Structure 1
Amino acid sequence: MKIAVLFVGEVHDRGFNQCALEGVERMRAAGAAEIEIVSGVSYQPNAMTTALETSAARADGVIFIGGQGNGITPPVAASFPDRSFAVVQGNVTGANLASYDVLQEQSAFLAGVAAARLTQSGVVGHLSGHRVSPGLKGRAAFSSGLRHVDENIRLVTGFCGTQDDNETTDRWARGIADTGADILFTMLNAARDGAIDACQATGMRQIGNATDWCAVDADVFVASAVARIDLGVERAVINLLAGRCPDQIEDLGLAQNAVELTCAPDVPEVVREEVNASAEMIAARQLEVETVFNGPEFELGQ
């Protein structure tokens, strides 16, 4: 069986895409299928559609990595009924289309809990790029975690329109720091370096996502909302090989050890304990993680 795995943007981004790539490489090494990586696809809808159609024409199955695939994949899947499709971080299904959702929002909620306890200024920032479903849910969950601890904390949140341009994220992160934020939760790909530069310049601490950024730079990163996107990729490949197409979205979260919040060494034990207690409650369905945000948004220059 030949499977094409499609990535929007830079695949070696030290974040979301690279985490997914780790799952692809593990499945490649297992030798169960011929797996082609299609990377560097533009975020433009026409470019994503063309890349998906081209991949489907030469593969038995196609996996779209990222929430961008939610709007692009269903019509392409319908036009290739003899192919199998999957979206990792998806919320769409069909006769030949499955979705796998690593619940980033659960670790984002925990990031909100930690940020609420760690902020000294009472102002916390959030910065993401594209307005796709996983990013929107992650922002809402982060806000939910903040309010779970302290309703009075101010959230300064924005989507800068890019996951990969560091100049843009540097400017946006500095703008958020200028509002008084001392902690910034980022959901970015290759453009995280811009936010890192801004944090180093302003003294704002950052909470990363997807991978464990505390292990990379604990001086900048006070925590990281880890989401094992690679496990979603593995599940998608395994089901494609078995000829299975789940008719419901397959979720992977705290209960499946697919997400967690890691903390830098200087995070007090009492904060870690509160994060762990919240994680246990979420896994046991005793604590609701909100996935809709209706608050104000930050616009650079305003």
Structure 2
Amino acid sequence: MKIAVFFVGEIHDAGFNASALAGAQAAAADGLAEITIVSGASYDQTDIRQRMTAILPEQDGLVFIGGQGDIATPDMAAAFPEKRFALVQGSQTGPNLASYDVRQEDSAFLAGCLAARLTKTGTVAHLSGHRVPPGLKGRAAFAAGVAHADPSVRVLTGFCGTQDDSAVTYRWASAQIEQGADILFTMLNGARAGAVRACRERGMLQIGNALDWVERDPEVFIASAIARIDTGVRRAIEDMVAGEVPGHIVEFGLAQGEFVALSLGADIPAPLASEIDAFADGIRRGRILLPRAYDGAEFTLDEMPCDAPQ
């Protein structure tokens, strides 16, 4: 079976795309299907649709990586009913369209709990790029985690409009530092480098996401909200090859297994690590329920909070 795995933005981004690519490559190495990697599409929906339309005639199926696919992929699935489609980090289903969601929000909640416990200024920050469902759910969960651990802690949260432009994220992270934040949770792709530079220059600590950033840069990262996007990609390919189209969103979170986790730096005290484990167990057992939306104040680059768009 010929399957295209479709990426938006930088593919070697040390983030979601990199994890997804590892899953696609592992599936190809195991001989599950003939995998074609399609990368570098812009975030423009017209470009996405044109590139999908161009490659689909040569493929039996397409796996779209990222929440951007929620808009175009259902239309493509309807236009090509003889082919199979899957969304990883998506929220749409259909007769020939499946969705798989690695619950980044579970580990984002734990990141919020940790940030609230560690902040010395009483202000923490979140920075992401595009307002796609996985990013919005992750932001909501991080803010909820902060409030769960210490409701007195202030959260500066914003979407800077890019996942790959490090100059933009450097300015945003710097602005959040100037407003008093001493811990930053980033949900970014290639643009994380700009936030890292700001943190390194100003002595701010950071919590990463998707991959284990504690291993990569322990000087800046005190933790990382790991999300095994590769597992969602592999499952999507396996189901597609088997001809299975789940009628519900297939989730991979703490309740389903070790698909997400909060990696902790070596300096995190053992009692705090145990507390984070207890919070994780609360999610796993359904005692802690995570919100899907955030309705608080929004941080903007001009440093003036405004009401978050609904």
TM-score, normalised via structure 1 length: 0.99
Aligned to 2:224, the other structure's residue is in SS state strand
Unaligned residue ranges in structure 2 (runs of 5+): 304-310
For these two proteins, the number of residue pairs brought into alignment is: 302
Q: Within 5 Å, which residues of 2 pair with 1:110-259?
A: 110-255=110-255, 256-259=257-260
Aligned to 1:90, the other structure's residue is in SS state coil
The amino acid of 2:13's aligned partner reads: D
Give the ranges of 4+ consecutive aligned residues of structure 1 lying more than 2 Å apart after TM superposition: none
Give aligned-pair identity as a percent.
Answer: 54
The match for 1:281 is: 282
> How far is the alpha carbon of 1:13 from its aligned partner?
0.5
| CA-to-aligned-CA distance 1:79-122 (integer Å, 9 cap, x gap) | 00000000000100000000000000000000001101011100
| CA-to-aligned-CA distance 1:225-284 (integer Å, 9 cap, x gap) | 000000000100000000000010000001321000001111111211111001111011
| CA-to-aligned-CA distance 1:118-139 (integer Å, 9 cap, x gap) | 1110000000000000000000
Q: How far apart, in 2, do the equivalents of 1:26 and 1:80 lie?
A: 27
The amino acid of 1:115's aligned partner reads: A
The match for 1:25 is: 25
Q: How far apart, in 1, do the equivalents of 2:195 and 2:211 lie?
A: 16
1:111 and 1:224 in contact (8 A); partners too: yes
1:127 and 1:159 in contact (8 A); partners too: yes
Q: Within 5 Å, which residues of 2 pair with 1:55-70?
A: 55-70=55-70
1:63 and 1:88 in contact (8 A); partners too: yes
The amino acid of 2:132's aligned partner reads: V
The amino acid of 1:203's aligned partner reads: G
The match for 1:268 is: 269
Q: How far apart, in 2, do the equivalents of 1:77 and 1:8 lie?
A: 18
Aligned to 2:290, the other structure's residue is in SS state coil
> How far is the alpha carbon of 1:55 from its aligned partner?
2.5
> How far is the alpha carbon of 1:39 from its aligned partner?
0.3
Q: How far apart, in 2, do the equivalents of 1:264 and 1:229 lie?
A: 22
2:103 and 2:251 in contact (8 A); partners too: yes
Q: How well do the aligned residues superpose, as a CA RMSD in angstroms?
A: 0.7
TM-score, normalised via structure 2 length: 0.96
> How far is the alpha carbon of 1:32 from its aligned partner?
2.2
1:254 and 1:283 in contact (8 A); partners too: yes
Unaligned residue ranges in structure 1 (runs of 5+): none
The amino acid of 1:103's aligned partner reads: R
